[in-house]
Structure 1
Amino acid sequence: MKYLRFFPFYVLSILPFWALYIISDITFFLTYYVLGYRKKVVCKNLHVAFPDKTEKEINSIAKKFYRHFCDMFFEAIKLLTIKPNEVQNRFKINNLSLLTNHLKNNENIMLYTAHQGNWEWLTTVPLFLNVNCNTLYKPLSNTYFNDLFILMRERFNVHCIPSNEGYRHLLHLNNNNIVSMNCVIGDQSPLGKSGKQQTIFFNQQTSFFTGAAKIAKKTDSAIFIPYLKKIKRGSYELFFENIVNQAATLNEQNIIDLYANKLEKVIEKYPELYLWTHKRWKRDGITY
């Protein structure tokens, strides 16, 4: 049934990478040159993050970002049909032992992730690591695309949990001594009365959700920020950088401060691989 429901995406997914990248190049031309999709937002964010860069440098990063952005979309669709051995050939994990050492000691792991690299490919990590793996997500209002993304993300045994159920579910696992690796994207802009803390991020007072820090503390998880280096189209190298070995030893503000600082350094290193199309600082006083 799923094949019929998502037939157009399965057709795309079975295409070889070289064919997908031809479509991606066409999409880039339309997105960047014709439609100018969110170009003002992207350039505004880049100017805020890199005030010392020239207009030429900003435009160069923006153009590289749009190329990556289009590639990333089709690479995500490829998750529907890609074979595990091809993932392992295209996705190199640099320092997996940092995680396995904690798992051997029956310690939970929190992957405090961001919209960096091709974050959708992080759902393939269970191919390299035998662990109960969960990711929290905010359901999309469009049920068709919401179900499509769940299908892609759960293909390699990642369990997708709606964010509003995440705390209760992960606490239940912890209370039942089920060791797990839990993935939470931490760089969204908090809405309304959501639990949030502010920290300095690219020289701006920036709001962050407190949920990941709260869960990590309650489950006394080791926290890592994963980040990706793009080797070439369709090939990535994944790194894990430690934030804290025992989250219970820090308060939520400390965790968010460390996360924001490490994420900023990653973005500075690979600026074209970060998602610049969202109005990250709109609720923190920046006018778009």
Structure 2
Amino acid sequence: MQLAAFIFAYPILWLISKLPFKLLYLLSDGIYVLLYHIIGYRKKVVRNNLALAFPKKSDAERQQIEKKFYKHLSDMFLEMAKTLGISDKQMKKRYVFTNVEEIQTLENKGKNVMIMMPHYASWEWVFNLNSYVKAKAYAIYQPIQNKYFDKLVRDIRSKYGTTLIRTNESRQIIKDAKESGELITVGIISDQSPMLHRARHWTKFMNIMVPIHVGGEELCKQHDIVPVYLKVQKLKRGHYQATFKVLTENPGEVDGYKISEAFLQEVEKSIYEAPEYYFWTHKRWKHKDKVPKEFQNN
């Protein structure tokens, strides 16, 4: 069944990857109508999330964000498929790093780097970074259940040389790279909600107490990896601008989980600037009523 689904879908994705961008976004307009107005894909989740994150906004204001988000979601889906057929020249034109010298400077110091990203704007085209740096690139990800689509996603994301590694194997791979003296850059998306039984720290995100992922921070401290926030802005359809912000060059000197908290504060800034580009279909605040006693007064 998995293979049948892949055989059906792959030719469609391949054809999408060959479309010129004008036709791609005309198709995206149609997918928006289908997702939002006809299917109503996860609309209840999106509305609940927006109400939690923006309680002071009116229903009309939140609905405006909601519609813009679904248009962006449609763009994102097609842009991921477009990665199969996009040229290096187009990619560099459409996904611009404003200060890649920040990463290059760290590399010249012999520093390993962790790029910490949220589900915001575009995270699929960040792999273009490999065109500008010399370090071995790894990206931590969660495998897709369908092994054929999982391979396709890995192929797309490794187009520029990134090696995708599963969460459960990341610690050993990073440890081995560190011990061998290999210079590495690790990408991780850290804004989603962890499983409750694995939550080790809670903090406020959009003014709501939530459990947070701290694995990235722990890896940085354990292996002296510099955590860097990547702020991505969507300038217009198919055009993004990405800016690096070093959170600290000395992670071992940072107490508690302040790096993870600083990361989420940066995510909040991006959301407040343009909320329609955050991935509102995630149930990010699903554990808000299960805050442990030791965190309830924070």
TM range (shorter): over 0.9
Deviation at 1:146, TM superposition (A): 1.2
1:135-284 paired onto structure 2 within 5 Å = 135-284=139-288
Deviation at 1:58, TM superposition (A): 0.4
Structure 2 partner of 1:35: 39
1:27-66 paired onto structure 2 within 5 Å = 27-66=31-70
Segments of structure 2 that go 5 or more residues without pairing to the other structure are 1-5, 291-298
Deviation at 1:198, TM superposition (A): 0.8
Other structure's SS at 2:281 match: coil
- Write the distance in 1 (CA, Å) between the matches of 2:214 and 2:247: 15
- Taking structure 2 as the reference length, the TM-score comes to 0.91
Structure 2 partner of 1:8: 12
Q: 1:192 to 1:198 in 2, by over 3 A?
A: closer
Q: 1:178 to 1:3 in 2, by over 3 A?
A: farther
Tell me, yes or no, if the aligned pair for 1:199 and 1:256 is still in contact at 8 Å. Answer: no
Please provide the CA RMSD for this pair. Answer: 1.8
- Write the distance in 2 (CA, Å) between the matches of 1:200 and 1:218: 25
Q: Deviations over 1:206-250 (max 9, x none)?
A: 111221111111121111111211111111111112211121111
- Write the distance in 1 (CA, Å) between the matches of 2:11 and 2:138: 27
- Write the distance in 1 (CA, Å) between the matches of 2:182 and 2:199: 26
- Taking structure 1 as the reference length, the TM-score comes to 0.94
Other structure's SS at 2:230 match: strand
Q: 1:55 to 1:3 in 2, by over 3 A?
A: closer
Residues 1:126 and 2:142 aligned together: no
Q: Deviations over 1:171-196 (max 9, x none)?
A: 11111111111011101111153353
Q: Deviations over 1:108-149 (max 9, x none)?
A: 111111101111111111122222111000111121221111
Tell me, yes or no, if the aligned pair for 2:247 and 2:262 is still in contact at 8 Å. Answer: yes
- Write the distance in 2 (CA, Å) between the matches of 1:33 and 1:203: 30
1:36-115 paired onto structure 2 within 5 Å = 36-115=40-119
Deviation at 1:62, TM superposition (A): 0.7
Q: In structure 2, what residue type is equivalent to 1:78?
A: K
Deviation at 1:4, TM superposition (A): 11
Give the count of matched residue pairs. Answer: 285
Q: In structure 1, what residue type is equivalent to 2:102?
A: L
Pick from 112, 117, 121: which aligns with 2:121? 117
Tell me, yes or no, if the aligned pair for 1:136 and 1:160 is still in contact at 8 Å. Answer: yes
Deviation at 1:10, TM superposition (A): 1.5
Tell me, yes or no, if the aligned pair for 1:222 and 1:246 is still in contact at 8 Å. Answer: yes
Deviation at 1:3, TM superposition (A): 10
Residues 1:24 and 2:28 aligned together: yes
Identity of aligned residues (%): 30
